[in-house]
């Protein structure tokens, strides 16, 4: 299933979901599942998890609620599917498979990601809204958000450790602390940019931060 960023825009989705001729059942099922994910992403981004209803998603997808539950057995399962989709798209762009990269290279990756994220405000809003909600332990995305941050911090820490080991970065650099700071800056800028995009240039500000950080930690 291939969902492109432009499929996840704020514009209303095209109408589909009606019966298809026999022989196209699998294609029709995949298309309907993709449509549900697109709509659910928009609803979660706009209303959060608790403010989103399966009935509203089903209505927009031109399905009954029972029809929606045929594809996703619960609202929680749908949320996890949306978060996994958003994460796969983000990670595909960041390409963390190349890690460890070293200090300059990993900061360049995140600077590129900040620019990419400015072109996909709906996905950034989804992440910001749901991770903000997920700080409470009873939220269904709590474990996902905690594990995601732990996994990403570990990946970036490994790149910074590689930079220290190679002599690129100073020996007294604390890779784990710097990794946490990078994510704090990225997420803080995303929030400010969502609130005031005309006055907060997320990509430029993160690029400036990355340059200053690299000068501070470079050997």
* In contact, 117 and 123? CB cutoff 8 Å: yes
Query: Which class does domain 5-77 fall in?
Result: mainly alpha
* In contact, 99 and 158? CB cutoff 8 Å: yes
| Helix runs in 64-201, H state only | 65-71, 75-94, 103-117, 121-133, 142-166, 175-195
List, for residues 124-145, the tens digit of each pLDDT value. Answer: 888 898 899 899 999 888 998 9
Per-domain residue ranges for the chain?
5-77, 95-217
Least confident segment among 136-140, 169-173, 202-206: 136-140
- Whether the bond between 100 and the residue before it is cis, its omega within 30 degrees of 0, is yes
Cβ-based neighbour number of residue 47 at 10 Å: 13
More confident residue, 171 or 90: 171
List, for residues 14-69, the tens digit of each pLDDT value. Answer: 334 443 444 455 447 788 888 999 899 888 888 888 888 999 999 999 999 999 99
- What is the C-alpha separation between 160 and 185, in angstroms, rounded? 17
Who's near 174: CB < 8 A, 6+ residues apart? Answer: none
Dihedral angle, C-alpha 48, 53, 57, 58, nearest 10 °: 170
Please determine, looking at this structure, whether the domain spanning 95-217 carries the CATH number 1.10.357: yes
pLDDT in the model for residue 44 = 86
Cβ-in-10-Å burial (0-12, 13-18, 19+) of 135 comes to exposed
Rounded to two decimals, the pTM is 0.76
In angstroms, how far is CA 175 from the centroid of its own chain? 23
Structure tokens at 18: 């009606």
For residue 4, pLDDT over 70 is answered with no
3-class DSSP state of 106: helix
> Taken in order 29, 74, 124, 155, is the CA torsion positive or negative?
negative
Structure tokens at 180: 């946490």
* In contact, 5 and 89? CB cutoff 8 Å: yes
CA neighbor of 194 nearest in space, from 117, 104, 142? 117
Give the CA count within 13 Å in the CB-facing half-sphere of 12. 7
218 DSSP 8-state letter: B
């Amino acid at each position: 299933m291939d969902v492109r960023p432009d499929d996840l825009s704020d514009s209303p989705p095209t109408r589909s979901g009606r019966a298809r001729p026999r022989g196209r059942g699998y294609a029709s099922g995949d298309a309907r599942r993709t449509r549900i994910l697109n709509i659910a992403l928009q609803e979660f981004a706009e209303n959060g998890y608790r403010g989103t209803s399966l009935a509203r998603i089903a209505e927009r997808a031109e399905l009954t609620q029972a029809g929606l539950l045929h594809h996703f057995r619960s609202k929680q399962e749908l949320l996890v599917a949306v978060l996994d989709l958003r994460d796969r798209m983000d990670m595909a762009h960041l390409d963390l498979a190349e890690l460890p990269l070293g200090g300059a290279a990993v900061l360049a990756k995140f600077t590129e990601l900040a620019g990419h994220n400015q072109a996909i405000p709906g996905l950034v809003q989804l992440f910001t809204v749901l991770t903000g909600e997920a700080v409470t332990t009873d939220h269904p995305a709590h474990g996902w958000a905690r594990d995601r941050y732990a996994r990403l911090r570990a990946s970036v820490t490994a790149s910074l450790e590689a930079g220290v080991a190679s002599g690129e970065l100073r020996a007294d650099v604390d890779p784990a602390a710097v990794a946490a700071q990078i994510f704090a800056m990225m997420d803080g800028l995303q929030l400010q940019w969502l609130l005031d995009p005309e006055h907060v240039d997320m990509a430029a500000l993160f690029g400036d931060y990355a340059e200053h950080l690299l000068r501070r930690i470079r050997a």
